[in-house]
Structure 1
């Protein structure tokens, strides 16, 4: 049974907040692409062990995973707006610390900065849920997709800042890129200041009496499938994307080509958001998520055909589109699994499990790339896709009501 009960809808406030969150997503969403584009490359210069070159990216995802539950608590206790403003301050500090690590040639300091960037991303990732707070049904699905459109702008801003600012600090490559990361977080602060959301759940008349224990929610097949869809969609995307810049450079392509490949990939991640909401309304969340997983499998097949730039970029494009359908579909599935009182802990638990897996995937990606090569990474994608695709297709036929 669909249990996603919502508060009465204030349409004008919902639309206003959606636009604010979309702009904030454009600034905050560029945080991760900067780290992902440069983390492995900076790691090559600073890391004492070749097996740790992707550790900065892994720590980004670890920080994201570890930050989800504290971020959920902060927003539950103090409200979305105050929580997001606090998150932007973390984002500013993280960029400056990462830049200092590069300037000081300290791998540890650089990794601390990327880990803090993950804490900032734990707030940014919840923008998609915030958009659906005061919407219902099809409108909630569209609101989630609209906020993700902000990532399309982030896809342009992030990699281009890498190219434009990488030599901004004389004699220290890439430090300027992380200073620009801090500046983007600063720009998000006045935008989020205008967000008008409840100061806390209790201020909306939502009490703990309406809540089920988290363990009971975790045993729900619908919620488990939603988590699994998000884990595999995001985990596999990160698993491949983390290794791709290093793999491209290792196969004779330039740093600029690697950065542009990530840019096209992130454009593909967020570009379909213009239509993903409508596709979910028309065909159902589970079906859209299943198509996303199929596209992720196709991206691995393209990568296995060769090492030309066309193979890398083609694979990354399919991977991005697949992530969009898979992850947004999974997000909408999660939004159907809780009452308003359960919102923070259910969303926080989902993001903790998703991004905890993502952190492990990004770390394993670097080690596997170093030990076994690019092909091994892509061969692993295929069985992982099948593991979730089968129950997702089964659920599409078993739970027709979930498509409404």
Structure 2
């Protein structure tokens, strides 16, 4: 590719990054609404047995996990723009279904509605991959960070939507917030329609003739792949475990729904706010060091979580949790990009998100069981062995890369 064409491609990548950031800001705001209200609404809808109160949040994460591979494959066939527009639709329908489920008092219908919201979240996960489809390495890394930074605005939009609209259409709680979330989904769909495909989708008839690359079995054997996926799983699953339990723990300690929503707001801001400069940190210090910093912040989060149950303890725990997720997850995503070739992109990204979100779904389900059993302190204690396992995998990958002179896909 000559210099002029390369410059034009980088310009398109930067333009797309701003559109993707805006779409992410709006569409991702539905997730903190679901997280803040999912467990509380489940608690409200259930009878005497409250052990399944976090099942709606688990359904959301499971919906994302099961849709990741189909979402990646669909975008390879129809392109990013059409894929993002299509992917916003289940969230809109899910939010409308949630309002109906609350009116009917149906717990299981509410679970299905959050599953649909999770399906859209699988398409939202592709925003960061769309930013690195093409372009020079430095532009791609910065574009991915900018797209992820859109989530910072979702951390304001989502919780503030809960605070401002939760009292609408009473006396049934939560209905106004989910109606407002449906409106946000529609706005996000319109923004996503402005994305441009920098990598043209392949016609259906050429898919069978396209180079397939290596098998997933071969790719997954790479120590770098194992370390990247394990660090991504650890960052996301621990975030899901602690975040899902936090609103229930806060309510159980006598704090209000508004205080719980503000805690989630600070958490989501911490998740996405550093993304404005995470890419630059990766370029300067390297992916491994950034992932290690993320794991260290997750450890600090757990230490604060077990040290007290005041409002400040909860909020600081959630802030450190968000910061640790940001560095750990973005760093792991950048590591993953080293392990596949262009023709292997879709299947590897899909497998990664399936494993990461599947683990997060399991963590959120366990969170509901654990918060009603061993409790908040035990949940935070789980962070320590998971972090140690990730550090072992990262060290193993680093040693092998050094001994082999660098490992490339």
TM-score between both structures, scaled by the size of structure 2 = 0.93
Structural mapping, 1:276-355, within 5 Å: 276-355=278-357
The yes-or-no answer on 1:163 pairing with 2:163 is yes
Tell me what 1:83 maps to.
83
1:25 maps onto 2:27 in alignment: no
What does residue 191 of structure 1 align with?
191
Which range is displaced more, 128-137 or 289-298?
128-137
Q: What is aligned with 1:3?
A: none
Q: Who is 2:95 aligned against? A: 95
CA distance in 1, matches of 2:38, 2:193: 30
Contact (CA 8 Å) 2:56, 2:114: kept in 1 or not? yes
Q: Name the CA distance, whole Å, in 2 between partners of 1:88 and 1:252.
A: 36
Alpha-carbon shift at residue 199 of structure 1 (Å):
4.3
Where do 5+ consecutive residues of structure 1 fail to align? 1-6
Distance in 1 (CA, whole Å) between partners of 2:157 and 2:22 is 12
Q: How does 1:147-158 map to 2 (within 5 A)?
A: 147-158=147-158
Structure 1 residue 139, shift from structure 2 partner: 2.0
Q: 1:173-227 CA deviation, whole Å, 9 max, x = no partner?
A: 1111111111111001221111110441469x99632511111111111111111
Q: Which residue of 1 aligns with 2:176?
A: 176
Q: Is the 8 A contact 1:286 1:393 kept in 2?
A: no
Deviation of the 1:141 alpha carbon: 1.4
Q: Which residue of 1 aligns with 2:201?
A: 200
Question: Which residue pairs with 1:4 in the alignment?
Answer: none
Instruction: Give the C-alpha shift of residue 11 in structure 1.
Output: 1.3
1:396 Cα deviation from its structure 2 partner = 4.0
C-alpha RMSD of the superposition: 1.8
In structure 2, the partner of 1:44 is 43
Distance 1:226 1:208 in 2: 27
Question: How far apart, in 1, do the equivalents of 2:61 and 2:224 lie?
Answer: 26
Contact 2:63 2:118 in 1 (8 A): yes
Determine if contact 1:287/1:393 at 8 Å carries over to the other structure: no
TM-score of the two chains, using structure 1 as the length reference: 0.94
SS, match of residue 328 in structure 1: helix
- Residue 157 of structure 1 aligns to a residue whose secondary structure is helix
Q: Is the 8 A contact 1:29 1:154 kept in 2?
A: yes
Q: Is the 8 Å Cα contact of residues 64 and 119 (structure 1) preserved in structure 2? A: yes
Question: Among 225, 229, 235, which residue is 1:233 paired with?
Answer: 235
